[in-house]
Amino acid sequence: MARLRYWKVTAEEMLTITYDQEKLINWEIKCLKSDAERFVGVFLYRNGTPYDYESIKGVCLYYNNIEKAEVGRVTAALEKKFGGKEMQKSERIFLKGSKEIYSAAEIGALAIQLEKDLEAKAVISLEFENTTAEQLKDSGLPEAKLLPIPGE
């Protein structure tokens, strides 16, 4: 079966979706400020995120043109919620060994909280494997937001 990506899913839509969590391999919440050049992204890869020559398991975030104080507040909130050991590399922060979430309700709730904390609009991307577009449509994912992955 192919890998399938959904993009531009809203936090509110996530609260109505019930997919098989074992099929979700990564997710990203990108919070865009009003000018779209400033943003914070929070993401999780099931198989770990590359950090130098190792793979780090846990929630991660990245940012662009965001003040250090605001990045610090977001990082502290994520660390309080998920735990993990904070590691930083450039504009990426890793919470090594943090709690991992995969349910639509938890991801949606996190997106809503980030929208409030950052005063930004959240856009969510989800990537699945070993499932079909039909199964995901039945779980409530909007068919119009399916973005095929080339070569899959």
Nearest to 126 by CA among 151, 95, 101, 89: 101
- pLDDT, residue 149, reads 79
Q: What is the pLDDT of residues 2-44, one digit of tens each?
A: 789 999 999 999 999 999 999 999 999 999 998 878 999 999 9
Query: What's the whole-model pTM score?
Result: 0.94
Contact 124, 9 (CB under 8 A): yes
State yes or no: pLDDT of 152 exceeds 80. Answer: no
- pLDDT, residue 1, reads 60
Count the residues in the chain: 152
Q: What is the DSSP string of 51-69?
A: ETTEEE-S-EEEEES--HH
Tally of domains within the chain: 1
Averaged pLDDT for residues 32-61: 93
> What is the domain range of residue 58?
4-148
104-118 helix and 68-82 helix, angle to the nearest 10 degrees = 150
